[in-house]
Amino acid sequence: MWVNRLNLMSILLQLACANSLQQPHILLMIADDLGYHDVGYHGADIFTPNIDKLANDGVILENYYVQPICTPSRSQLMTGRYQIHFGLQHSVLFAPQPHCLPLDETLLPAKLREAGYSTHIVGKWHLGFCKYECLPTSRGFDSFYGYLCGKQDYYTKEVSGFLAGWEYSEKFKGYDFHDNLKPAWEGNGTYSTYLYQQRALKVIQDHDKNKPLFLYLPFQSVHFPLQAPQKYIDMYPNIKDHNRKIYSAMVTAMDDVVGAVVNELQKQNMWNNTVTVFSTDNGGQTLQGGNNWPLRGRKASLWEGGVRGVGLVHGAGIVDKGRTSTELMHVSDWFPTLLHVANATTSGTKPLDSHNVWDAISSKNGHSPRTELLHNIDPIFKRPYGPTPPMTPYPNKYGVNTLWGHTALRWLNWKLYTGDPGYESIDPPPTMYRNQTVDTTCLVSGGYHPDCKEPIKAPEPVPSVRLYDITADPSENVDVAKYFPMIVDQMLEKIAAYNKTAVPVSWPGGDKNCDPALQDDVWGPWM
């Protein structure tokens, strides 16, 4: 009789746990420009104890990919679709551009809200804001606290407008910090990372515990400008490289917010029923203190250093914890995966390019259904600085112009490039004794290195098609295209097929009507 009661209690407990996990809280944290080598669990000399704890107690994703730059990663995260299918395959959205993530795309928060979630964004949007319909609270979020543009001053919240392109323009300046539809002037003067911590904690404290919570926390950190409170800078007295010192301080400040949010969820008795995702949006910018060692390339390149992301999952529903997964995953996969976790559906969306990878995350015996990944096809790509290497076309029967801007495809263990993948050096971590500050405006202005008075020498010619075995050669040291012509042929055929489904690039020029001076010096919708 006593044994039967124990069995009954065990069954009831299992049922209660199963019910509690039907709709767990979801915490989705996105770091901005965080390099592959810039977390403690990847060997960095940067203090990230809270991120490391989540990683060590959860699942580290070591075959996980993002896009090379901000807007493309965020747009694919929110839609579960490749950027070639909604026209954002070129560059990021700049503040004066009259464009946003197309309004006929269904976004993740909207689907979660349909499923009963409270949905909140605290941090960076960067998916366009020319119309009110483009704003976060019009795309599925119950509340928005943060900024709309791609970058800003961490203290003043001022944004200088860009014309559509990589050339700087000081014509437009304005304040970009918002509490829903109103400017949050009280944020002026306070380090933004602190503000995001305060608001994230308030969202958790005020949350109705009878509903599941979706908290999207896209940090400003660690995107330039390099700014950090002095107490964090003082934690790195042995780093002599100026950029690396400030960058490291910014990473640690962000890590403290991660810890504070976790502690608050624990305090509110929500943590045990929370699924947490932490990811970067793209590779680190080595010109601004980031590092992607031992990978080749940096932010804005299709090389592994630009697209292989820091990623981890922690929390409810994970059976096998404290492990590393090498299953192939992509930032777009969070769309169907988190909807699955939320017991929601993908019905009503456009055709997805993403996969539900929860089985691969939750169990060591699970596998990702993803076998290939289109990193991008950008037909109008141009390097933002420095000369483009000369190339010769690669004859093929599929009509793929191999001189075409910026294309990369992953298939199984293979990765194929056509055109210009972007900056391709492998940058070792800055030494403690190096003392160099890179002036990016100097590089932008004409191909000059800041330490030299002469232009950078023209690069040597490179093949227009390159193939790498990413599993065997993650640093992409050996181009094996000439040894595997059949693989090259198959992958060019796949690229041609993808290109047939692509919509034209939508990247309009800047609109002078965006000028914040016309709206009380605040960036916001103008159409």
| Nearest alpha carbon to residue 56 among 41, 35, 45 | 41
Q: Which phi-psi region, left, alpha or beta, contains residue 264 (left: φ > 0; alpha: ψ -120 to 50)?
A: alpha
Could you tell me how far CA 322 lies from the centroid of its own chain?
23
Q: Within a 13 Å sphere around the CA of 129, how many CA atoms are in the beta-carbon half?
A: 27
Task: Write down the H helix ranges in 268-407.
Answer: 304-307, 334-341, 358-362
Crossing angle of the two packed helices 334-341 and 70-79, in degrees rounded to 10: 40
Say if CB 463 and CB 394 are below 8 A apart: yes
Nearest-angstrom CA–CA distance, 409 and 354: 15
Neighbouring CB atoms inside 10 A of 462's CB total 17
| Nearest alpha carbon to residue 406 among 352, 455, 464, 360 | 464
Strands 311-315 and 274-280: antiparallel
| Nearest alpha carbon to residue 426 among 304, 308, 310, 309 | 304
Q: What is the SS3 assignment for 260?
A: helix
Strands 59-61 and 323-325: parallel
Look up residue 81 and give its two tokens.
Answer: 């679709």
Say if CB 481 and CB 467 are below 8 A apart: yes
Nearest-angstrom CA–CA distance, 357 and 369: 7
Say if CB 83 and CB 89 are below 8 A apart: yes
| Catalytic annotation present for 406 | no
Strands 143-147 and 178-179: antiparallel
Q: Kindly calculate the radius of gyration of the chain based on its CA atoms and give it in whole angstroms.
A: 23
| Catalytic annotation present for 514 | no
Nearest-angstrom CA–CA distance, 16 and 323: 26
Set 99, 126, 178, 355: catalytic member: 126
Set 25, 42, 70, 406: catalytic member: 70
Give the residue numbers annotated as catalytic, written as ranges: 70, 126
